[in-house]
Amino acid sequence: MSSLFPALTAGPAGRIALSFGDRSLTYGELGAAAGALAARIAGRERVAVWATPTLETAVAVVAVLEAGSAAVPLNPKSGEKELGHILSDSAPGFVLAAPGEELPPPLRDLERVDVDVRGAGPLPDPGATGEDPALVVYTSGTTGPPKGAVLPRRAVSHTLDALADAWQWTAEDVLVHGLPLFHVHGLVLGILGPLRRGGAVRHLGRFSTEGVARELDDGATMVFGVPTMYHRIAQALPDDPGLAQALGKARLLVSGSAALPVHDHERITAATGQRVVERYGMTETLMNTSVRADGEPRPGAVGVPLPGVELRLVEEDGTPIASYDGETVGEIQVRGPNLFTEYLNRPDATAAAFTADGWFRTGDMAVRDPDGYVRIVGRKATDLIKSGGYKIGAGEIENALLEHPGVREAAVTGEPDADLGERIVAWIVPADPQSPPTAEELASHVAARLAPHKRPRRVHYLDALPRNDMGKIMKRALSHD
């Protein structure tokens, strides 16, 4: 398989590829720096990258891929125990880091190579096949130590090319984002995506509405973000006409990593005339579905399967749901060239993740409209509530709660109930802590919008919801005590 980034050798050498603040590299400079670094690490099966939001991280990952090795991105916020597990599990040959970056104790015995973004050397032939590993990305260990999902080169190329088809993504696009670079969203889509197209990416280092507006005013065409970022945008818009004007110039606004509340969709559209596009993916599958740039954006929907991706919903016993009505909840299963090959050193977990005929069990619950649009309703383990004989997705209740003017943030879980099996519990961050909406008021609000059996039976009031680096609510941290 040839390089994942044809523009490193075939595109205009003077075109800007990467910008991090006032630091940038052209394609010619990136190719030279990646070539020099690839020569240093050649022959190593796996190479760790200390994945700070910097130019060095982007150069390091490109160099590892150009060397035909697999990159293991490390979250700089990981604790020492987690880092120790990842290092012993993946056994990288080197760790790549920005010069002067202080690394924690678990990394100090690993040979370090500083990334020189002004280095110069010829690009090697990766000499790798599509099935060879490109990345080993560790999933968050909610039920044990993190597992290393081995993503082959064909999964990376397939996902990025399928998104180019869905989003009409070309070399003329300039992407702006402030996502972390140790996850699939920020690294694969947000850095490798523009480079595969021969376009440009401007990384904000740290997300800010001012940074997004500045880059859009300066010619950026696309924005990638997570719901917490779009929520901040939605909150800022009423008092910031410049932000609304800048967002109105974007060709595409994309949200992912968690569901974007319908209320935020509507506030952004009302202020800017733009509709945010949602897509759905996982570490193990990269991207599965998206609303297409030329398709109909529906708030709360993640669109249709991408080219080459097969998707089905199944009942609890694994039986495929025969016809889609937009109401029947099932678990999403997918198969296609976008999938990972294995969990590193975990044949048991790999086997359990797939059906006998090769479908990956995502653990995500969804409904599907008759025309193929998919709407995620939550995770099987934490968001599927079985109450009074009904299967209820937490996501739609959360959206309904967020439409109440007294609610700033909302999460919904289930707890055991002797009569119903499970009762619906709402966790609310009120807009005005001094005058929160009552439990009765919220129950009536949800029952009027959805159905009486979907109303919360208990309400807890919080100052903030627990969230991870990507803005996802950590429901396991919500205690029913």
Give strand ranges (E) for 110-260.
Answer: 112-114, 133-138, 148-152, 174-177, 200-203, 222-225, 252-255
Calpha distance 270→470 (Å, rounded): 26
Structural domain ending residue among the three candidates 161, 186, 211: 186
26, 43, 159, 202, 283 from 57: Cα distances, Å: 16, 20, 21, 14, 19
Answer yes or no: is pLDDT of 41 > 80. yes
Rg (the chain; Cα; Å):
22
Answer yes or no: is pLDDT of 277 > 70. yes
Residue 470: how many CA atoms within 13 Å on its side-chain side?
21
157 in a structural domain: yes
What pLDDT score does 384 carry?
72
400 in a structural domain: yes
For residue 25, what is the domain's CATH number?
3.40.50.12780
What pLDDT score does 470 carry?
62
Nearest to 329 by CA among 321, 319, 337: 321
The residue-averaged pLDDT of 109-131 equals 94
466 in a structural domain: yes
Render pLDDT for 407-436 as a digit per residue (tens, 0 to 9). 998 999 888 877 777 889 999 999 999 999
Calpha distance 254→237 (Å, rounded): 17
What pLDDT score does 400 carry?
86
Calpha distance 435→440 (Å, rounded): 14
136 in a structural domain: yes
pTM: 0.85
Answer yes or no: is pLDDT of 346 > 80. yes
279 in a structural domain: no
The residue-averaged pLDDT of 434-455 equals 88
Structural domain ending residue among the three candidates 156, 186, 216: 186
At position 96, the amino acid (one-letter code) is L
Calpha distance 269→267 (Å, rounded): 6
Give the total number of structural domains in the chain.
2
pLDDT band (50, 70, 90) for residue 260: confident
Structural domain ending residue among the three candidates 169, 186, 203: 186
Answer yes or no: is pLDDT of 463 > 80. yes
Low-confidence winner among 53-57, 280-284, 338-342, 382-386 (lowest mean pLDDT): 382-386
What pLDDT score does 8 carry?
95
What pLDDT score does 144 carry?
67
Give strand ranges (E) for 16-91.
Answer: 16-20, 23-26, 46-50, 70-74
Calpha distance 396→120 (Å, rounded): 53
Strand partners, 324: none
Answer yes or no: is pLDDT of 209 > 80. yes
369 in a structural domain: no
Answer yes or no: is pLDDT of 105 > 70. yes
Answer yes or no: is pLDDT of 273 > 80. yes
Query: Environment class of residue 442 by beta-carbon count within 10 Å: exposed (0-12), middle (13-18) or buried (19+)?
Result: buried
Angle 62-63-68 from CA coordinates, rounded to 5°: 100
Q: What is the DSSP string of 343-388?
A: ETT-HHHHHHHB-TTS-EEEEEEEEE-TTS-EEEEEETTTTEEEET
What pLDDT score does 228 carry?
85
Q: Which is higher by pLDDT, 343 or 384?
A: 343
413 in a structural domain: yes
The residue-averaged pLDDT of 206-228 equals 96
Share of the chain above pLDDT 90, in %: 73
Q: Which two tokens stand for residue 243?
A: 């932000």
Which DSSP letter does residue 479 get? -
What pLDDT score does 143 carry?
56
What pLDDT score does 36 carry?
97
For residue 395, what is the domain's CATH number?
3.30.300.30
Q: Which is higher by pLDDT, 90 or 146?
A: 90
49 in a structural domain: yes
Q: In terms of residue numbers, what domain contains 469?
A: 384-477
pLDDT band (50, 70, 90) for residue 33: very high
The overall average pLDDT reported for the chain is: 92
Q: Are 77 and 140 in contact (CB under 8 A)?
A: no
